[in-house]
Structures are given as C-alpha cells and as structure tokens.
Structure 1
Amino acid sequence: MKLVSICTAAGLTLLSLGAAWAEPQPVEPSALSREIGERGIAPVLERLHALPSPTADERFAIAGLEFLGAVETAWHWRETYGVRPLGPMIFGFSTDLPEGMEPQPMPPEALADLTEQTLAAMERSRAALAGIGPDEDFGLAISMRDLWFDINGDGKRAESEGAAELLDGVLWSGVTEFDQETGAPIAPELPVIRFDRADAAWLSAYTHLVSGGAELLLAFDPTPSLQRVFAMRERIDKARLNVDPDGMLLPPMADGAIDPIAAAFDMLRRQPDAKRTRAARAHWQQTIAENRRFWTLVGQESDNAGEWIPNDRQVSATGIAFPPGTGAAWQAVLADGEALLKGERSVIFWRAPLGIDLGAWLENPAPLPVDGVIQGWALADYFTDAPPVSPESFDRFADMLTDTGPFLAMVMLN
C-alpha cells in the first residue's frame, strides 16, 4: 500500500560497476491500465476472472488486482467504521484516508472477518501467479495515474480516491508544488510501470508477507478482546451522558488511543493458536525465498523500461533511488530474518545478555502478557544460547538508502 511513487525517473547518468546506466525508456500504458482508470479495480478483476484462458500478463493482472482489491477492501472497511491509522504493521492501516461517510458501529468480529478476507485474497493472488509458467515472459504496463481505490464503495472515482492522493506522504514526501505564475497546485507526473516476470516473484513474496501478518493476528483471535472493550466502552458512554467532560481525569478524546491499546493488551494475554503461528512462519520463509527469486530474475534483465525495482544497471521508473548493491544489502537483511525464523539467531533480551528464540515461539507459542514480556517471565521458556542477530546488515542497508529512506525502501522491497 504503499506501492507507488509520485515522481518519474529523472534522466540521469550514473556509473555502476564500471558501466554507464542506460537511459530509461518511456513506456505507454496498456489498454488494461486505461480500463482500470475508467472502471475501477473490482469490475476489471471480475472480467479477468471470467476469461477461459487468460494470458500471462492477464494472470499477473488478476494477481495484482487481487492484492490491490484487498487494500481497497481494507480502506473501505476503515471508512465504514471510522478506523484511524494504526501504523505500518497492519495491512491497509497506515494511510490517512479522506473524510467521508458517517462511521457505523463496528461489530467485534469485524476485524477477524476482514483479516480472513485478506488471507483469501492473497491465496487467490498466488493462485493466479502459479498459472504463469517459469519460463513464460510478459510485460504489463500500468500507469499510476489510472490506479484508484473505491473507498466509499459507490463505483465512481472521486478526486480523493486516486493513488496519487491516497499515498501522498506515505511513499513520497507529501510536498505539493505550485505554479509560480498562477499559484495553482501542479498535478504530479505519475510513472508508468512495466511489470514483468521478475515482478511476479516480487508480488508473490508480498502476498506471503501479508499472509504471515494476517495469520499472526488471527492466532490471538481479536474478537473476544474487542467484545470486552466494546462492552465497557458502551457502559462508559452511557455514564457520560449529561456530564461535563472537563470534570473527568481522562477526556473522551483519549478513547481513540485507550481502547485499541486495551484490546491489544488483552489479546496478548490469550493463548495463541499454534497452527496459525506456524503458518505465519511458513509464509515469512516463503517471503524470503520468493524475494531471492526476484533478485535473481531482475539481475538477468538488460532493458531499462518502466522498471519497478531495478537491478544495478537500471533506474526505477518511480523516481525512487536504489543505489548499486541494494539487492545484495537487502538479501543480507533477509538472511538475518531467516536465521531468526529458524532459531539459528536470537532476539536480544532487553534486560540482560540473553537470547530469545523467535522460531521456537512461533513453533510452540505461549501468551505474551505485556508485564511478563517486559519483566521477562513470559519469555523464560524461549531463552536460547543462539547468538543474537547483529544489526550490522540492517545498518549497512539503512546507510545505503539514506536519501530514499530505509523505511520506504523496506516497504518497496518487502
């Protein structure tokens, strides 16, 4: 969510590995890109699913639109229930959305239902990608100007529903440029991305990343905790009727922070479902495997046309700078993550030189009450002699991506 940038690639010449980078080649949007702009994600996806024998680029389009449709569903869900941004760790929850409809009361089971829908969409995306042969090449050019999300569900594109507006400040600076003569805001020139065989591996990796997070959330089953929090909130709201809020120790404006934190703390006290934590680990291991496959495939490319994430001889059409060596540096970070999942490396405990075996917890999880985690007793069964993971690889990656920003790079690279 987080999948586009506002700038097109500059015509720059840099030296990489002793050879000059090729000038980026312009790419024209495909007919399917224009169809998305005119009709939206869901109608185009429905048409593609009805095809008896979709081509490779149509299969990739199905996979991509399933993923983007899950983002659209999450944003519509947030709009329906008035859910504010909760940070980048929850799929679809990091973006500020335009004010729209009057929020409805949220049923306690709504979050779990949304998460199950997200899991199903990721499965459908991977199923479409599986239909593309290992040696089958394709190219699908999508203009980010055409991409929009039907957040209010009315089937019509509103000015605030374009990818440029929704992701402004998330994947780019959020700074608006103005015409010096008229003072009017200048519409950004959005890139056209040509997705190819390497990007299919990238998308597959991202679906596994999201699926792992969804499985972990469902492992703690948020519904009972939300039931408890919502029931108390209803009682509190009734008690506040006809009472001056200035006389309260905590004003009602604190509700937006207190209630989600209370629900999260209550969830962490629950016994996690081991099947789901193991599924989360398996998905994250596949994320790493598919990401490696992506870098192998993208390293074989010799063109420089509408690149999403480039190799060392290419330039990203998004305008985001990926310096030479980005792929190797990122794979070193993923190797550390893989070692954590396998238990070969540990997470350093914050109170003493003790290691925490993340892989062992995912295999046989226990509750994680916040007080027990901070003090340490809730982690006692997971202390290990495995050496702690070193920050060296991530620090090297972050130093390389100082201009771009390591967080943005991580979002792009998954």
Structure 2
Amino acid sequence: MMLFRKSLLALTFTASVAAAQDIDLTPLVSSVGLTDTIVALENDQPSPGRDFALGGVLFLRGIEKTLQLRYRHNADFGKLDLPVLRLPLPANPEATPFYPGLVTDLFRDLGTDMQGARAVLTNVQGDFGVILDLTRVWFDINENGARDKGEGLMSAARAAFGRAAPQSDLNSLVVRFDTADAAWLTAYTHLLEAITDVVLAFDPTEVIADVSQSIDAMSDLRGAQPNTRHSYLRGFESWIDTFSMFYGALNRQPDPAHTRAMRENLLAMVAQNRRFWDLLALETDNDREWIPGAGQISALGIELPEDAGPVWMKVLDDAEGLLEGRLLVPHWRVEPAAGVNVARLLQAPIPVDIVTWVHGNGLLPYMEQGPLVDDGNLRRFEQMFRGDALLFMVWLN
C-alpha cells in the first residue's frame, strides 16, 4: 500500500509539472519525505524548475543525513556553534556508541552531497517557479519513515537562525523560489563544502580518539570516589574536553589539498552570490520571495533595507580580496604597513599555533607589505541589522 501511494504521488507530481509552469513541491515532500521525493524528481523530465527542485531536495537530504548519523550514535554536541552540528537532536534510547571518526565521516559525506546538489543546479537555465511550504518540510531523523515531533525544518531553522527565525508553530510559510534563488543555493553548496574542507584539512579523528581514551583513563584512576575538591570544574568539563579536541586538531599539519579547495569554494561562493544579486535586480514580480529585492517582500516576513545588497557585496568584496591575496589581514606587529597574506597561507598551510600566531613569529613567512582589509564594510552591515547581523549573514551567505 505504501509503495502504491508513493507511486501515485509521483505520477500526480509529474502531471502537475506538465500542466503548469510553477511546480508545487509541498504535497510530495510533506507526504513521502526527502528520499522518495528525490526518486520522483529523478524520474521526471528535466526542466529548469525540476532541476532546481531536485538540487534543493538533494541539498536538504545532505543535511538530513548528518542528523541521521548523529542520531544513530547520540552525537549531541550541545552548544557547539558549528554548522549542522548545532542542529537540535532528540535523544536516541537505542543508540550505538560514538566513534572517533564520526565527525570526519559526517563532513566528508556532507561535502559529497553538496557536490551532488550543485551538479544538478548547474543545469538550471531559464525561468521557473518552485513553490514550497517550509513548515511541511521534515527531516526523518530517526529513519522510521514518518514525521515525528521535532523533525520539522522549522525546528532546525530556529537553531540555525536563533530568536529572529520564523516561529516553528506557523501553520504555513509558502515560498516561491525562482531563477535568482538557484544562484543563492549554488552559493550555499560552496559555503558548506568549504566548511567540510576545513574539517577534512585538520582531520580530528586521531585527536578525538586520544582525548576520549585519556578521559577514560583518568576516570579509571579516580575510581568511584567523587572529586569534591574541584567540583566547581564539573560545569566546564565538557567545554574543556571540546577545546582540547579543537586545539589538538588545529595544532597539526593540515592537508594542503583541502585548504586550497576551501579557498576555491569560498571564491565560487562569492561569485554565485554576486550572480544572485544581479539576477534579483532584474526581477519585476513580487511573489512570495525568498530573499527580496527592491520593491519586493519576503515570504518570511523579513524586510531588507534598500541598500542591504550593495553593502553585503562590499563585505564579500573584502572576503574575495583576502582570498586572492590583494588584501592582507592586519597583525599588531606589522600594521599599518604590512599584514598576513591569507591566500598564501591557504596555499601552503601550517599548524594553527595560537601562541606563535599571536606573537607573530609563527606567521612571519606569510607577512608582507601591502593594503590591509578594514572592518568598515562589516561594521556598516552590522549597524544595518544591529543585533540580528549574524542571522542575515547566514541567510544571505
């Protein structure tokens, strides 16, 4: 019966695509989830709308897979404020043990999934409209094939965007994605893949294993007797363990292939973001917009200041200047005449040694004279959105 229902939904979806210019993806996604929606879309005839829909669902499926892997092993990273790792996760009473390579596996697979989504998005040529009610999208975190409490996309959005996110109890939040949004989503695949490159460059598997083993060994040494003398440190125990893993991973020789790939992905993100704003400026409609341009209103109920796009482009110009080596990062030892060339650092990376980097001698091979980036554009962006600047950075990528 389930197979028949899925087949019927797929046929209904295909008929709706053929009958109308806009594709309403909501009935299919809400009923069968992301995996079966991908199957239905792959079996449909290619078109700009179909390709965007497929690329978007593949993007979301990549996020879903990170949640599923974490759920299988109860890998709740608490308040660790990192992409995908900070998304909320219900407790799994039947979880299998955590393993040191989980973080690396998670991000390696996420990078592959972003490449897959982008491969489809590059085929998007021409006008289209894809309608999606974001409140009906869900992640099958526990892999039982049904939507359970806490599995909605909006629950994840609240974790990603914080207090400024749309409320998770909305009855509907319908967005009509169009041509410009394909560039926005392509930019986001580059951004997430760049983050995976950072993790893979400093592969934390060995460090996580060493720290975990040392924690167990010290616990065995203490035995069952409670440590009352330093009980005030109990609240910091998890933070200290996490910091130890981070510091240990960063203070190792990174893989240059991944630091170079990160740089290329960030440059591609900037290029696609510029393309998005160029396409947005050509729009003449005002129909349930994802990110609104001049004279448009966002379906999210969020208003952008009129000069938000130009100011954000200047922030990205600064980022591009750093990635290309045209601008340098200030360092207290050598500014204002010189700075650190980030582009050269990413081409030939070294371990992140906090002490020598702050002192300056660790970064001396990458220091040179030249124009420095300043924080003027970033400060203007932050002033424009006040306390919600981080929200808009995530949204605009």
For the aligned pair, the TM-score class normalised by the smaller chain equals: 0.7 to 0.9
Q: What letter corresponds to residue 34 of structure 1 in structure 2? A: P
Which amino acid letter does the alignment assign opposite residue 395 of structure 2?
M
Of 388, 392, 398 in structure 1, the residue corresponding to residue 382 of structure 2 is 398
- CA 1:91–1:283 in 2, change beyond 3 Å: closer, same or farther? same
Q: How do residues 159-238 of structure 1 correspond to structure 2 at under 5 angstroms?
A: 159-168=149-158, 170-171=160-161, 173=163, 187-238=169-220
Question: Is 1:379 paired with 2:372?
Answer: no
> How far has the Cα of 1:238 moved from its partner?
2.6
SS in 2 for 1:321: coil
Distance of aligned partners of 1:63 and 1:113 in 2 relative to their CA distance in 1, 3 Å threshold: same
* Greater relative contact order structure (CA < 8 Å, 6+ sep): 1
Mapped to 2, the partners of 1:362 and 1:174 lie a distance apart of 34
The reply to whether residue 124 of structure 1 matches residue 116 of structure 2 is yes
Question: Deviation digits for residues 111-161 of structure 1, max 9, x if unmatched?
Answer: 11111101110010111112222xx11110000121111222222111211
2:7 counterpart residue number: none
CA distance in 2, matches of 1:293, 1:174: 26
Q: Helix, strand or coil for the counterpart of 2:297?
A: coil
Match of residue 288 from structure 1: 270
Cα distance, 1:316 vs structure 2: 0.9
Partner SS, residue 384 of structure 1: strand
Q: Once superposed, which parts of structure 1, at least 4 consecutive aligned residues long, lie more than 6 Å away?
A: 174-177
User: Which amino acid letter does the alignment assign opposite residue 188 of structure 1?
Assistant: L
Q: Contact 2:340 / 2:367 at 8 angstroms: preserved in 1?
A: yes
Q: What does 1:346-365 align with in structure 2 at a 5 Å threshold?
A: 346-350=328-332, 353=335, 354-365=338-349
SS in 1 for 2:45: coil
Superposition RMSD in Å: 2.3
User: How many angstroms apart in 2 are the aligned matches of 1:85 and 1:76?
Assistant: 16
Instruction: Name the stretch that deviates more: 364-373 or 242-251.
Output: 242-251
Report whether the alignment pairs 1:148 with 2:138.
yes
Deviations 1:262-282, CA, capped at 9 Å, x for gaps: 111111221111111111100
User: What's the CA shift for 1:256?
Assistant: 1.6
Asked if structure 2 preserves the Cα contact closer than 8 Å seen for 1:343 and 1:386, the reply is no
- 51-60 or 272-281, larger mean C-alpha shift: 51-60
Aligned match for 2:77, one of 72, 84, 90? 84
1:368 is aligned with what amino acid?
A: V
Task: Please give the residue correspondences for 1:319-338 in structure 2 after superposition, counting only pairs within 5 Å.
Answer: 319-338=301-320
Q: Tell me whether 1:34 sits opposite 2:34 in the alignment.
A: no
State whether residues 345 and 389 of structure 1, in contact with CA within 8 Å, keep that contact through their aligned partners in structure 2: yes
Number of equivalent positions:
373
The residue type paired with residue 91 of structure 1 is P
CA contact (8 A) 2:157 2:165 kept: no
**Distance change >3 Å, CA 52–CA 251, structure 1 → 2:** same
Given that residues 77 and 85 in structure 2 are in contact (C-alpha distance below 8 angstroms), is that contact kept between their aligned partners in structure 1?
yes
Distance 1:121 1:288 in 2: 20
CA distance in 2, matches of 1:126, 1:198: 15
Q: For the Cα contact (< 8 Å) 1:367–1:378, is it kept in 2?
A: no
Give the letter aligned to residue 383 of structure 2.
D
Out of 260, 263, 266, the residue aligned to residue 248 of structure 2 is 266
- Determine helix, strand or coil for the equivalent of 1:246: coil
Contact (CA 8 Å) 2:158, 2:166: kept in 1 or not?
no
Q: CA deviation at 1:61?
A: 1.5
Gaps of 5+ in 1: 1-28, 178-185
2:48–2:127 CA contact under 8 A, matched in 1: yes
> 2: CA distance between counterparts of 1:85 and 1:222?
18
| Structure 1 letter corresponding to 2:289 | E
- Percent identity for Structure 1 against Structure 2: 31
TM-score (structure 2 length as normaliser)? 0.87
CA distance in 1, matches of 2:292, 2:164: 24
How far has the Cα of 1:187 moved from its partner?
A: 3.7
* Superposition deviation, residue 210 in structure 1: 0.9
The AA in structure 2 aligned to 1:313 is G
Choose from 209, 218, 221 the match for 1:239.
221
**1:309 to 2:291 alignment:** yes
**Deviation for aligned residue 1:396:** 1.5
Taking structure 1 as the reference length, the TM-score comes to 0.84
SS of residue paired to 2:140: coil
CA–CA distance in structure 2, aligned partners of residues 174 and 239 of structure 1: 47
For 2:393, the aligned partner's letter is M
Report if the CA contact (8 A) 2:74-2:92 is conserved: no
Structure 2: runs of 5 or more not aligned: 1-21
8 Å CA contact 2:135–2:172 kept in 1: the answer is yes
